[in-house]
Amino acid sequence: MTLRLHDTASGRKEEFCPLEPGVVRLYTCGPTVWNTPHIGNYRTFLFFDLLRRHLAVRGYRLRHVMNITDVDDRIIEQAHTAGVGIDAYTRPYREAFFEDLDALRAQRAEHYPLATEHVPEMVRLIARLLDRGYAYEAEDGVYFRIASFPAYGRLSRLDRSGLRPGARVATDRYEKESATDFALWKRAQPIDEQVGAAWDAPFGRGRPGWHIECSAMAMAYLGETLDIHAGGVDLLFPHHENEVAQSEAATGERFVRFWLHSEHVSDSTGEKMSKSVGNIVTLRDLTAAGYDPLAVRLFLMGNAHYRSRLRLTEEALHAAAEQVRRLQDLADRLRGLEPGLRSDDAALYADALDARDAYLEALDDDLNLPAGLGHVFEVVRRANAALDAGRVGPAGREALLHLLETVDAHLDVLRRRDVELDDELRGLIAEREQARRARDFARADRIRDQLRDRGIVLEDTRQGVRWRRVER
């Protein structure tokens, strides 16, 4: 089996093979820690997780770097308004980011470099670009001259007639329509000094522009050529275009072998989720509404292919929660099965093996998890029917558990969180059951709300009441 990934630069699925056998050098653009990320951002981060996990399934060792952008225009403005330094301002957002990653069970990258801790690398890279004539000094900083780099615009298929040679953009908020020379270094303003966002450099005290951060940190950890660079499609232009220009102008080497981009999340009306539209939903919003982070995980990863838009609706979240429950239930039923007592359904056994092959094949085809899950849930349905009929024996049990294990290498939803409830919570659940049996639904609902406030969500199922813990 060969792994094929869709490379944005070529516009095609290509067979993936790393430069150094067995090791993948992966760089992914991380968060700018100026506010709380929304679900659209986490879709991107979980796409990275899916990519990581599948590369590991295919036997590769990973060297994965995800940067944390902890200095930019917005951070400086917000820190200034709050009257604190940028480090103090960004710290809670950095911590919350990792808490969210843990709640969503995203595997940790090997490195999470902070931009502010890699300024010397950025300064050296800018000096190199100045030396080689790709950058120039202006009054307010150092700029990259896009006219000096003939391949500029190739990655994002930019119409080069739209280039505005000599036009400059100093801000970190870029216009998507026009390509201009962009700031590599911005001379320090009084506000930068006040919040601790200024560093010395041969070309004057100041701070790095956003784009140069990624090139410098990627090359510092992974060398001049990366196997894979991934990010949200939002970053394709100008951020990734600028990364290519700076990096290749400085080294003369190819910067990235595979470019992978994941699509947006939209709200239930189909509008792209964004801060400026005002329709953002955070992970905390969803867990406060009672959704299990694992359901959110499965929804973001598996509801649509990563290159398709994903629409956030209550129905889709409920469906994802149901999928998590079905996988967990089947695993429980299979593990609890007495081996050797039943006859095996030979067709089910064969289907479980086939489904596993089809699942892995779908993942090898540009990480098509939704297609893979389609094969799996068909077998899950049949497995439950066979279990009900007592037709799962030792061979079928093994094959089905093996299938679940294969799926869980990507989904990671079968590990249960802490399963202990204290006596008081147990008492409340029992009390609610009594109220329900006495048809005192108002009281039952009150207890349900009380439990919700304590981070316990109840589900009434055919097998009885189930509970799970959610973030509050």
Query: Under the rule (CB under 5 A), what is the footprint of Zn ion?
Result: 29, 214
Distance of closest approach, residue 364 Cβ to Zn ion, in angstroms: 27
| Residue among 246 and 406 whose Cβ is closer to Zn ion | 246
Distance of closest approach, residue 27 Cβ to Zn ion, in angstroms: 8
Distance of closest approach, residue 161 Cβ to Zn ion, in angstroms: 27
| Residue among 214 and 379 whose Cβ is closer to Zn ion | 214
Distance of closest approach, residue 152 Cβ to Zn ion, in angstroms: 17
Distance of closest approach, residue 54 Cβ to Zn ion, in angstroms: 22
Distance of closest approach, residue 65 Cβ to Zn ion, in angstroms: 10
| Residue among 212 and 337 whose Cβ is closer to Zn ion | 212
| Residue among 115 and 447 whose Cβ is closer to Zn ion | 115
Q: Return the residue matching tokens 């406060």.
A: 288
| Residue among 214 and 250 whose Cβ is closer to Zn ion | 214
Q: Are 334 and 397 in contact (CB under 8 A)?
A: yes
| Residue among 27 and 149 whose Cβ is closer to Zn ion | 27
| Residue among 26 and 214 whose Cβ is closer to Zn ion | 214
Distance of closest approach, residue 107 Cβ to Zn ion, in angstroms: 20
Distance of closest approach, residue 214 Cβ to Zn ion, in angstroms: 3
| Residue among 29 and 444 whose Cβ is closer to Zn ion | 29
